[in-house]
Structure 1
Amino acid sequence: MKTSKADLPFWQQLILLSVGGINLIVLLIIFSLWHTSDRALNFVGNLFKPQPVKLKIDSSTLIVERLQNLQELTTTVQTMEKIVPTSAERKLGDLPIATTRLLYIAQGEIRAGVDLGELTSQDIQIDRQRIEIDLPTAKILDRKIDVDRSRVYDYDRGFLNLGPDVAPQLQTLAQRSTLQEIVKTACDGGILDNANLRAQESISQLLTNLGYERVKVNTTVPASCEFNRDRQTVSEGEQLSPIVVN
């Protein structure tokens, strides 16, 4: 004899409905887990799978190295001519006997710019397509005498050639004086300000060519204008003086 659900008490019908609902939920969970099992396994596997190392390039360091390769950036070159009289005396005690005079025409050259080797990554700030750089202070990079274009204009040993024969020494004295004078003249003429301006223009153009849309190049006002080589400062107070030969 079959018993229908309608013949069952209410509480038994409620239990049957509950069991059926639980079975349905379990089936749905099993189906969902089966459907997503591949993705779940892949997710768990990726958690323990070694990931490739991502290499990054520090853009500021790259720019620094590229600029440092330019080393000393000469932005201003000045040439000038100086006529330098020199002399040497021959004395007997305190009494001058004869004087040798040498007139030297010197062609001097002076270079100014910035030493890009002094740049560090702290001097460069990069934000996407914007770059800002603080340049090193402009300075005198070199000074020299163009010996091929310089010459002795006149050499006179005085009456009966009694003056000392010291042409090489007088020429060296004239060249040393010329080097001092061209630095002083160039500094008075604002060579470092001009070097800063040219460096700013050159580096701005270079960075623009590298693809940066907004470029800002900052320069520094030089504290002094002098020539340094191996940290030895050329004294501007050293004056040209005659050579005395007894």
Structure 2
Amino acid sequence: MSDLPSFETHTENLRRLIAESERIVFFGGAGTSTESGIPDFRSSSGLYNSGAEYDYPPEVMLSRSFFIREPEKFYAFYRGEMLHPAARPNPAHLALAELERSGRLTAVITQNIDGLHQLAGSKCVLELHGSVLRNKCLSCGEGYGLEAVMESIETVPRCTECGGIIKPDVVLYEEGLDAHVLGEAAAQIAAADLLIVGGTSLTVQPAAGMVGRFRGGRLALINLDPTPYDSHASCIIREPIGKVLAPFAEKRA
């Protein structure tokens, strides 16, 4: 057979797009980390469909008002479902870090809160929804790492300086995204000549709407399911993102 399998054809197309580009931006969602063992939210095997029994839906327990009203129940859910300290970068994270080192990728914009891009070596990471690695006292502003939440002997972690409640630096429902991070992400997307979107269905606003700011000629979509931007894409790959980007994780001579 002379024709390449579809996956190889698409991967070669992506390789060509990357080779032709000088300002690549990656925009990623939960699917970027599923191959690291972190479940996504809305797929059949995701957090919202896990079958775990709680008194409230995840959207309620991950809201600002619930955190303030029921911090014990918030942290029971948060520690059990949102924290994955043993997770390690998969080939997608490593490939993006290597593309940055090569000078082709200018920014990673992520909706994830796991910190795996930085662990893989990426430097310019714009975290739209914050990070579990950062935590702050609501009373005095003292900062804490993940261990303050993981190793707290109290159900609700407390500040060692003032006794105030420590809150994860993640964007909860009912909270707005950081305006500075949003602005920088929008600027990076607008300046890109190749936008790679991976592991996201592009249905969560306002983050997903920023893809509409892209004016470059090359849009690559790597996602298991269709997205609203499929008709605008130069390359669509319906495979796990770690599998797709694995060849780009290798250091180039």
**Could you state the TM-score of these two structures normalised by the residue count of structure 2?**
0.22
Structure with greater strand percent? 1
TM-score, normalising length: structure 1 = 0.23
